[in-house]
Amino acid sequence: MSTIDPLSNPQINADVIIESRWLASMAPSNALLENHAVIVQKGLIAEILPISDARKKYTASSLVCLDEHILIPGLINLHTHAAMGMMRGMADDLPLMAWLNNHIWPAEKVVLSPQYVKDATLLACAEMLASGTTCFNDMYFYPEATALAAGEAGIRANLGLVVLDFPTAYATDADDYLQKGFNAHDSWRSNPLITSSIAPHAPYTVSDQTFEKVVIYAEQLSVGIHTHLHETRQEITQSEAQFGIRPIQRMANLGLLGPNLVAAHCVHLLENEMELLAEYGCHVAHCASSNLKLASGIAPVAALLAKGVNVGLGTDSVASNNRLDMLSEMRLSALLAKGFSEDATAVPAYQALQMATINAAKAMGMDNKIGSIEVGKFADLTAVRLGDLETLPYYDPIAHLVYSCGREQVSHTWVAGELRYSNGVFTNIEPTELKEIIQTWQPKLRQYKN
């Protein structure tokens, strides 16, 4: 009888091992894996292999067994304004311009400050982590305060350096916005969770001269551009009256269209405008819930995808959505695409998940780091339970994830291998303290409720 010397085949020590019943890698070669483990070392995915092999090869101080879950890349919110988190439900059932002019902008004049932005962003980060979001593409004032909140929560963020041509409590004119943004950008250069883009608000709030500066600075800093575009018919009519052309053509003339542009909404598009977006390699952040709630319309997502435009998903802010819930956005986006195109095969479940993960990562120029479960990428991961009674039975795990599951089925959220949320408990956020913060700001905002 022979014996095996344990020292002849020692196990490798990993930081974290996550075993999952299903794994949606979003990698080109592996759409769905069954009974696989993800090995995490120093925040990165070191290996993906069958659970039986992982148990032989690795040991870890943290082992998470998810026997009724699907493990997916961390969800990416491609367009939001996190610091509007205190404005949930403040101005419901209003069209966009009345919503902005009569409620949101007046309220911001009163509360806008670094402390407000930090507090409201922390609230948004808690909601996003609890619903499986590991990265958000933001656009708001005082981005340093947003960075502080994101750092405290432990969530990844691409922060838009807002640019406008009118004064706010944050800045006086376009040059002041740009300079403040550059200072913020410099302040987080060494933060691995924070990146930047330049965020001219919209064609109706930014002049040609400012847009031209944005193009120059974005190229110099090697950062993306994030803006609102063709959100409403009114925006297009206004542009035609003021400039004689539609906003997309104006932006093309000014040099803004390109592979570094994330254009939020893109609801009202002509055929040639969709082709223009495809030709220049632009990215679209589709915000289905916000567009419906503000009655802006329904974006032609299936047509954009068919033309080769990269489309990701965003929630917009809770002021125009009421939820920072990417699972809801996946489901609604898939259903709207089918209804709008009258094609039941439009935006199938797997494509909806792509839009919320790898497509969004590509839009931010981060698809070499996040957006899929692949060796060498950051371990930004989300686990979703498939075994709850209200979601049983299941046949196709990815279709089930998109059409049946909700954020209440999210059990774990990791960012760079660090567990940030687990079954109702946050690692770095104390809900009772957050509720106290909310009670500080709500009375100041209540007067702007419609």
User: What is the pLDDT averaged over residues 98-106?
Assistant: 88
Residues of the chain with CATH 3.20.20.140: 75-363
- pLDDT-based confidence at residue 95 (cuts at 50, 70, 90): confident
Report d(CA 296, CA 231) in Å as an integer. Answer: 6
- Secondary structure class of 96 (helix, strand, coil): helix
Query: Are 315 and 321 spatial neighbours (Cβ–Cβ below 8 Å)?
Result: yes
Report d(CA 375, CA 326) in Å as an integer. Answer: 25
Q: Say what the pTM is.
A: 0.96
- pLDDT-based confidence at residue 4 (cuts at 50, 70, 90): very low
Q: Please give the mean pLDDT across all residues of the chain.
A: 95
Report d(CA 286, CA 351) in Å as an integer. Answer: 13
Can you say how many angstroms the Cα of residue 100 is from the centroid of all Cα atoms in its chain? Answer: 22
Fold of 6-73+371-426: Urease, subunit C; domain 1 (2.30.40)
Tally Cβ neighbours within 10 Å of residue 157. 29
Report d(CA 272, CA 274) in Å as an integer. Answer: 5
**Single-letter amino acid code for the residue at 80:** T
Q: List pLDDT tens digits, range 24-57.
A: 999 987 779 999 999 999 999 999 999 999 999 9
Q: List pLDDT tens digits, range 152-202.
A: 999 999 999 999 999 999 999 999 999 999 999 999 999 999 999 999 999
User: Residue 330 is encoded by which pair of tokens?
Assistant: 């996946």
Report d(CA 63, CA 60) in Å as an integer. Answer: 6
CA-based nearest residue to 70, from 368, 404, 416: 404
Whether residue 300 has pLDDT greater than 80: yes
Percent of the chain with pLDDT over 70: 98
- pLDDT-based confidence at residue 225 (cuts at 50, 70, 90): very high
- What pLDDT score was predicted for residue 91? 87
- What pLDDT score was predicted for residue 9? 57
How deeply is 221 buried, as exposed, middle or buried, from its count of CB atoms within 10 A (0-12, 13-18, 19+)?
Answer: middle
Query: Are 20 and 355 spatial neighbours (Cβ–Cβ below 8 Å)?
Result: no
Whether residue 233 has pLDDT greater than 90: yes
- pLDDT-based confidence at residue 8 (cuts at 50, 70, 90): very low
End-to-end CA distance of the chain: 82
Q: How many CA atoms lie less than 13 Å away from 83 in the CB half-sphere?
A: 29
Q: List pLDDT tens digits, range 212-224.
A: 999 999 999 999 9
CATH code, 75-363:
3.20.20.140
- What pLDDT score was predicted for residue 94? 87
Residues of the chain with CATH 2.30.40.10: 6-73+371-426
Q: Phi and psi of 110, rounded to 5°?
A: -85, -45
Query: Are 364 and 78 spatial neighbours (Cβ–Cβ below 8 Å)?
Result: yes
Query: Are 403 and 143 spatial neighbours (Cβ–Cβ below 8 Å)?
Result: no
Q: List pLDDT tens digits, range 419-430.
A: 999 999 999 999
Q: How many CA atoms lie less than 13 Å away from 198 in the CB half-sphere?
A: 29
